[in-house]
Chains A and B, each alone.
Chain A
Amino acid sequence: MRREIPLAITFLVGLFMLVDFFVPHHSVSAAAEEMKQWGTIVIAASILLGVGNLIRVHYRKIRRKQDGWGYSITTLVAMSVMLYFGGPWGTIAEGSAFNWMFLNMQVPLQSTMFSLLAFFIASAAYRAFRLRSAEAGLLLVAAIIVMLGRVPLGQLLTRGLPEKATLPWLTETIMTYPNMAAFRGILMGAALGVMAMGLRIILGIERSYLGGEK
């Protein structure tokens, strides 16, 4: 029963949501609307699960004094301080200490972390982007046209040429026609995959989300 009941829940909930899509009757849509609110609550719990697991992992690291356990203390202290200001007993409002920590600590940390990628992509472009085949050449040419055409420099470089020979026009044409076509093919293929997988899950054929244990 430990697997059968969840499978039955998946089937009934999935079927009801599909019925809601096709049946406009008020009784169906009212019930579906309430269930959608339930969905947001359960999703919130699943995110809490993730955060809880983070706390558990770092706590274990500190207790066992594993490599880098000092940094785990930093993580948990930072979490505690921010929660002290913004938790159930605190406030997340504009001008609060929680808000200050978000804007002056989390925002710069997160922004800077991802901005490192600019350096690495430049390094990768130099070291790894090789013209090894005709297909790679096609990729390279498209990349260079788009990189130059999507910045004002591209407009400057081809100023004076007929409109259809300018880098911005070429870039927009590449994006609107061959790029669009390829991504539409990918989109449609992915849609078929999602629909098939969704049906398999609802019908109980695909059960990997339940995990391995009995």
Chain B
Amino acid sequence: MSEGFDLRRIDRRIIFVLVLVAVVWPLIAPLRLPMDVSPPVQNLYNTIEEIPAGSIVMLAGDYSPDTMPELQPMTDTFLRHAFRNDLRVVVACLWPASPPLVERALLPLADEFGKVDGVDYVNLGYMAGGTVTLLGMGASIPNTFPSDYSGTPVREIPLMQEVQNFDDIAFVMEISAGTPGTREWVQQVQSRFRVALGSGTTAVGAPNFYPYVQSGQLVGLLGGLKGAAEYETLLEYPGLATKGMDAQSVVHALIVVFIILGNVAYFAARRKGRA
């Protein structure tokens, strides 16, 4: 028996269309909403700013294509930050899909800043093993990564002559989508070898790592697309993350409306059932 329009039984494809419009419209017609910067991101930025020029830093790329929208802007912005401050970058990956994704950011930026492969940066590629690989790096990074991503033996790479283990690394920026990732880097590298560690992680994972931020095990944390956008703001480089924040705002507002509407429908139906 029909009881008229029931808000609880709305076709979910209508919801899908509304979400799609909420994403596409702000991308086509940006709202340019103001951006604040949270303390974990500010701390990360400040820490990197204090690293002396010429120091060697490590970028740990531990993500895959499904988390690219959140994490690729972080990779991009960190490399930009490092090259701008004349830091030398060693890239090491624990996820197999990461090396080409990092290269996607690395090569154009190296070109832009006039950096030389093997001298100012090196991509050591991927190594299986996760936690055990991290411990291996603590003893010897050249032994753990015998060649770089293109197959060149590390003994032939000038930058790697100055890198034996984490004692030679001033800072590690870990871009992480899951396991192995931030937790393993904190457990096996930061706590054991006391290297300064910052993390960029997906929004899904970020709440879990606030204990590490509060304890100082992480010097800073970029959480999700917002974290990436805040980092871009500090670097005064409005990239993809910043451009996505308008859409993020609209969709979040839409979902809050959905939650409220859904509960209104629920309570209305409950009252009707009791009446």
Contact with A along B193-233 (1 / 0, CB 8 A): 00000000000000110110110000000011010000000
CB pair A179 B256 closer than 8 Å: no
With A140-B259, A151-B249: A106-B65 Cβ-Cβ less than 8 Å: yes
Q: Are B127 and A175 in contact (CB under 8 A)?
A: no
Knowing A155-B34, A176-B214 touch, does A126 contact B259 (C-beta < 8 A)?
A: yes
Give the total number of A-B pairs whose CB atoms are below 8 A apart.
165
Whether B255 and A122, one on each chain, are in contact in the complex, defined by CB atoms closer than 8 angstroms, is yes
Contacts of B19 in A (CB 8 A): 118-119, 122
Question: Which A123-167 residues have C-beta < 8 A from chain B?
Answer: 123, 125-131, 140, 143-144, 147-148, 150-153, 155-156, 159
A71 sits at the interface (CB 8 A)? no
B12 is an interface residue with CB less than 8 A from chain A: yes
Closest residue to B207 on the A side, CB-wise? A179
Q: Is the beta-carbon distance between B210 and A152 smaller than 8 angstroms?
A: no
Are A119's CB and B16's CB within 8 A? yes
Of A38-46, A60-68, A200-208, the one contacting chain B is: A38-46
A173 to chain B, nearest CB (A): 11
Residue B147 lies at the interface, judged by CB distance under 8 Å to chain A: no
Among B48-56, B83-91, B137-145, B166-174, the stretch in contact with A: B137-145
A148-B252, A180-B214 as given contacts; A129 in contact with B140, CB under 8 Å: no
A93 at the interface (CB under 8 A from B): yes
Give the interface size class of chain A: 35 or more
- Which one, B73-81, B155-163, B261-269, is touching chain A? B261-269
Q: Is B107 part of the contact surface with A, judged by Cβ < 8 Å?
A: yes
Given contacts A29-B139, A94-B107, A172-B38, contact A126 B258 (CB under 8 A): yes
A107: Cβ under 8 A from any B Cβ: yes
Q: Which of B103, B130, B255 has the most CB of A within 10 A?
A: B255
Say yes or no for B273: interface residue by CB 8 A criterion: no
Report Cα–Cα, A33/B140, bound state, in Å. 8
When distances are taken between beta carbons in the complex, the residues of chain A under 8 Å from B143 are 33, 37
Q: Mark A100-116, 1 if CB is under 8 A from B, else 0.
A: 00110011101101110
Cα distance A33–B34 in the bound complex, in angstroms: 50
B275 interface contact, C-beta 8 A: no
A94 touches B103 (CB 8 A): yes
Minimal beta-carbon separation of A9 from chain B (angstroms): 16
Tell me if B175 is interfacial: C-beta within 8 Å of chain A. no
| B238 contacts partner chain A, Cβ-Cβ < 8 Å | no
Contact B16 A123 (CB under 8 A): yes
- Nearest CB of A to B264, in Å: 10
Besides A40-B133, A103-B104, A152-B249, 4 more A-B contacts (Cβ < 8 Å) are A107-B68, A153-B250, A183-B210, A187-B208
List 10 A-B pairs, minimum CB-CB distance, nearest first: A40-B129, A152-B33, A153-B249, A114-B66, A39-B132, A126-B258, A110-B65, A184-B211, A107-B65, A180-B210
List 27 interface pairs A-B (beta carbons < 8 Å), by A numbering: A36-B133, A40-B129, A43-B128, A107-B101, A110-B65, A118-B251, A119-B16, A122-B18, A122-B258, A123-B12, A123-B16, A125-B255, A125-B258, A130-B263, A131-B266, A148-B252, A152-B34, A152-B35, A152-B245, A153-B33, A153-B250, A153-B252, A155-B36, A156-B33, A156-B34, A183-B207, A183-B208
| Interface residue ranges, B against A (CB under 8 Å) | 8, 10, 12, 15-16, 18-20, 23, 33-36, 38-39, 64-69, 97, 100-101, 103-104, 107, 127-130, 132-133, 135-136, 139-140, 143-144, 150, 207-208, 210-211, 213-214, 223-224, 226, 245-246, 248-256, 258-259, 261-263, 266-267
